Chain A
Amino acid sequence: MKKLIEVRNLNIAYGSAAGWTNVVQGVSFEIARGEAFGLVGESGCGKSTVAYRLLGYGTINSLVQTGEVIFDGIDLLKLDATALTRLRGSRIALVPQNPTTSLSPGMRVGTQIREMIATHRALPPGMAMETRIVELFALVGLPDVGHRYPHELSGGQQQRVTIAMAVACNPDLLVLDEPTTGLDVTTQRQIIQLLADLRARIGMAMLYVTHDLALLAQIADRVGVMYAGQLVEVAPCETLLAAPAHPYSRGLIASIPTMDGAAQPGQGLRGVLRRDQMSTGCKFEPRCDFAAAACRTTPQALEPVTGARTVACMRWREAVAPHVPVLVKREDKKTAEVPKRVLSVADLALSYTRPSLFDRLLGRSSPAVVRDIDLDLRAGEVVALVGESGSGKSTIARAISGRLPPRAGIISLDGAALAPALKDRSVEELRQIQYIFQNPDASLNPRRRIRAILARPVDHFGIEVDDKALETVLDNVGLHAGYLDRFPEQLSGGERQRIAIARALLVNPKLLICDEILSALDVSVQARIVELLRSLKEKHAVAMLFISHDLAVVQEFADRVAVLYRGELMQLADTATLLSEPLHPYTEMLLEAAPSLRKDHYVSRPPAVPNSKAAQGVGCPLAGRCPRQIGSLCAETRPPLQTTGNGFVRCHLGVEALPVHSTPTDARDPSVQKVSSQRSL
């Protein structure tokens, strides 16, 4: 195959007050026409910096020290602004990470695409602009939404629009910067499906930048693994996933939670990427399990090894040796006595707007955001709350913590009902429920030292502690006393989240609400936080409500899983049961969409009755999207609650009928697939 773009020995440095930092060092790779190349690595490894340089773009404080980016015989780094402008969008296009911020909010999306085509005069001959725009929308599986504004579209639809915009001029190369990171798992899979489909039809090459190897497995032909600004391994996707040769790739793959259910303790990566602790030799040496004395001093460069792969490691033969995955069966510690019930939620209904006096007089009520939630948590138990964004997971957590007084229902802690509003709860009750937020950057006050952040709750609740308490708790979460005098901005994301966990643990809570606490972190960091949480759960017997959209993480350590869809509990079951027999159609959809570490040829199943939307607050919320819907019954009547072995299912289909799988194979033929992508969300 012919090379489309070639990066040769690229070195980029970022300038700051403290001098230059080398961000990208000696990166070389090439992408052939029509090939999908994946670039993967932890945050801060320089993958986006490289990707944006392929568009000839760099931030103001970055400097290309050496290197060439040769696209079709031209060095992009030597082009002037005018020539770059001509090239960008028309021959190399970008799909940005966050469609919400990259689409202009005050402009109809059709106009934005028109702008793109007009700038590059890329209208195919003999075709009207309007026809072309509609055609592009059809290409990405959208109806004609040209007259809409970005905020009128869902996140998935917005990303489809940015993709349509990127392919509008039939580019040769598409640069995708984490295009699915902000999206739900089902939407993610549809976008990936769409990209694969587009590639087959248009034949463009792709550079796919992501931190998610599992997603990359679904689309990339070859993958480059980056660490600390260097490519450490380039290999065909299947080879890499089956037998990673570089110790870093190996650790990265091992940290990914999979749905296969095998726990892999001790396989993940240790430590974090610290650019200030680089050895002169291999950059990965401080974290490497295979490191020898020579690694510290000998710089490693990519060397071709067997099977079209290149590796930057002198000890790759040892690393590539297949390790037998240690299948640790999670021991079921089923004790006879049932632990005490810590939290119980009964008939909870929530809404954001309080009915006004006028509405109350007329007997009108606004629809609830969340309704009929019944949930119990026992001491030492982890219950996961799973669902797509907007399903009301965090809303429930807000109600339990007292930040959103419920419209109806009772929340009780230790058998005693809690006051609905935060200000009416006693200090003791506040102490017993601790909340850990999603984003540790936002939940730690940036202007306070870690010592002050940790000491404040202790002072506030008047807990008697000895002088060593802060150090002990830091030790518990895998940090040390040296962190006490730092500011949050001097810590990495994972360390900050550990501080947030430490702050919650310090006051001995009975219930810990973890609101998506892993989603802002790197995979390798995630794996270690999960490990930490598991050990804390065993040590402290604290009950946890673990909110997540990621079923793979949930199966790692939750005891029970509650599946939420548009504010209603669809299913509640033991984790193992839920994974082996999903029962509910929605749970099935979620499980199928979760990517595994090999190409799984996922095809989203088309809804059975696409046009029957549920009557607000009456029918099953899944109606219209459910692949197993039975006529209009689902949309019009409330599905009954059916008890199963260790939980319940809310569905019109009988418990006996549910386990009968309708295999997605019948959805393979293209016409049905098109329908499914158009229907998507």
Chain B
Amino acid sequence: MTSVTSTPSRRFNAARWRATPGPFKVGAIILAAHALFAIVGAVWTPYGYAEMGAGLPLSGLSWGHPMGLDQIGRDVFSRFMHGAHIVLLLSFAGTILGMVAGTTLGLLSGYVGGWFDAVTQRVVEAMISIPFLALALVMIIAAGPALAGAPVLIVFVVGLVYAPRITRIARAAAMEIATREYVAVAELRGEGTWSIVFREILPNAANVLLVEFSLRLSYAPILIGALGFLGFGIRPPTPEWGLMISENRNLLIASPVTVFGPGLGLASLVIGFNLFTDGLSRMLGQRPVAGA
């Protein structure tokens, strides 16, 4: 077929937005709302997130305190607002770390092959076979009490849990791309391994990796929340959503609203990421194939 070529413009325009798949739109709106909420929460909250005695503890929801107050009289809504940017930042940082490590290792392993691939894959498989929470806890314990609760540690944990999984995806993509003739052309030119991996293979694996990135990103808040819930996350009183659920879980009967906020926040964030990813993969998957 003759390809109808149009130069894609980077600007946002209504026609392009309308052409995007539905899930992408809904996901993008949810994520935009989260981002806005996180930015506002980072600079301003109705009460201090650690301010005790903002009102009567456990007094339930009111106009002043839409999510009620916790056991020691902190305003849950303020804590929820402040926690938003922490969850987002930790998720992004952790996923990016996992992505960089996993992609590099995976592409190399898929392209180079041989014993390097064999060794890498055995290590990766071993890491995947351990349940991710177990792996995370082992790391946190190994890091020792000095680092416990530090954001850097959380980022590393997320990165390490994700890297092996991303490695496998990147490897599969690289193995397929390595058989293409433009890679052979580069080899015949005598290009080095790194040059081939980053110039020839990476740009063509970008679609797959982008989708994988946003999929991993959508699970990161759950992972971080789970760590927080178990008490291995961010050090209190910093309000991370998982931690907040953990703190208030024994108030579930006395004042249920205190748990709803962070729970809904986590759920909507994950759903938003998932819809976004779904739409993104559809958009990337439906690119017109050249020469078809």
Contact = CB atoms under 8 A, between A and B. Distances in A.
A456 B199 contact: yes
Given A437-B184, A444-B182, A447-B203, A275 B2 contact: yes
A425 B189 CA distance: 10
Contacts of A493: 291
Given A21-B2, A274-B2, A444-B182, A422 B290 contact: no
A422 B187 contact: yes
A444 B2 CA distance: 19
B203 A448 contact: yes
A357 interface: no
Interface in B154-211: 180-182, 184-191, 199-200, 203-204, 206
B3 A490 contact: yes
A403 B187 CA distance: 9
B2 A447 contact: no
B189 A441 contact: no
Contacts of B1: 14, 21, 23, 44
B2 A445 contact: no
Given A18-B6, A422-B190, A489-B3, A445 B184 contact: no
A306 interface: no
22 contacts: A18-B4, A21-B4, A273-B2, A276-B4, A402-B188, A403-B184, A403-B188, A422-B190, A430-B188, A433-B188, A437-B184, A438-B181, A443-B181, A443-B182, A444-B182, A445-B182, A445-B203, A446-B204, A448-B199, A460-B189, A489-B3, A490-B5
Contacts of A18: 4, 6
Given A274-B2, A422-B187, A435-B188, A17 B206 contact: no
Given A275-B2, A443-B182, A489-B291, A425 B190 contact: yes
A422 B187 CA distance: 8
Contacts of A422: 187-188, 190
Contacts of B3: 489-490
Interface string A508-528: 000000000000000000000
B274 to A, nearest CB: 25
Interface string B11-47: 0000000010000000000000000000000000000
Interface string A421-434: 01001010010011
Contact of A446 (B6, B185, B186, B290): B290
A167 B180 CA distance: 38
Contacts of A21: 1-2, 4
Interface in A440-491: 441-448, 456-457, 460-461, 488-490
Contact of A437 (B6, B185, B191): B185
Nearest to B8: A17
A663 interface: no
A490 B288 CA distance: 11
Given A23-B1, A456-B199, 10 more contacts: A21-B1, A21-B2, A274-B2, A275-B4, A425-B190, A439-B181, A443-B182, A445-B199, A457-B189, A460-B191
A301 to B, nearest CB: 22
Contacts of A356: none
Contact of B204 (A23, A275, A439, A447): A447
A402 B191 CA distance: 14
A489 B290 contact: yes
Nearest to B6: A18
A401 interface: yes
B4 A44 contact: no
B5 to A, nearest CB: 5
Nearest to A488: B290
A580 interface: no
Contacts of A444: 182
Nearest to A46: B1
A422 B206 CA distance: 28
B181 A437 contact: yes
A24 to B, nearest CB: 12
Interface string B228-265: 00000000000000000000000000000000000000
A23 B19 CA distance: 22
Contacts of A503: 185
Interface residues of B, number: 26
A464 to B, nearest CB: 17
A598 B180 CA distance: 39
A16 interface: yes
B190 A427 contact: yes
A442 B204 contact: no
A352 to B, nearest CB: 15
Nearest to B291: A441
A473 B200 CA distance: 23
A18 B288 CA distance: 12
Interface of B: 1-6, 19, 180-182, 184-191, 199-200, 203-204, 206, 288, 290-291
Nearest to A447: B203
A448 B206 CA distance: 13
Contacts of B190: 422, 425, 427, 430, 460
Nearest to B19: A17
A503 B1 CA distance: 26
Given A44-B2, A489-B291, A445 B200 contact: yes
Interface string A94-132: 000000000000000000000000000000000000000
A439 to B, nearest CB: 7
A505 B57 CA distance: 80
Contacts of A427: 190
A457 B4 CA distance: 30
Contacts of B291: 441, 489, 493
Given A21-B2, A274-B2, A443-B182, A430 B288 contact: no
B203 to A, nearest CB: 4
Contact of A447 (B4, B184, B206): B206
B188 A401 contact: yes
Given A16-B4, A493-B291, A443 B187 contact: no
Contacts of B290: 441, 446, 488-489
A401 B189 CA distance: 10
Interface in A19-68: 21, 23, 44
Interface in A177-222: none
Contacts of A401: 188
Contacts of A457: 189
Nearest to A460: B189
B185 A435 contact: yes
Contacts of B206: 447
Contacts of A489: 3, 288, 290-291
A511 to B, nearest CB: 12
A276 B1 CA distance: 12
A77 to B, nearest CB: 21
Contacts of B19: 17
A441 to B, nearest CB: 5
Nearest to B177: A445
Contacts of B200: 445
Nearest to B202: A447
A536 B180 CA distance: 27
Nearest to A21: B4
Contacts of B6: 18
Nearest to A493: B291
A401 B204 CA distance: 25
B127 to A, nearest CB: 30
A582 B205 CA distance: 50
A498 B180 CA distance: 19
A488 B204 CA distance: 13
Nearest to A401: B188
A447 B181 CA distance: 14
A465 to B, nearest CB: 16
Nearest to B15: A17
Q: Which 4 A-B pairs have the closest CB atoms?
A: A489-B290, A447-B203, A275-B2, A443-B181
B10 to A, nearest CB: 16
Contacts of B180: 442
Contacts of A17: 19
Contact of B2 (A276, A446, A456, A461): A276
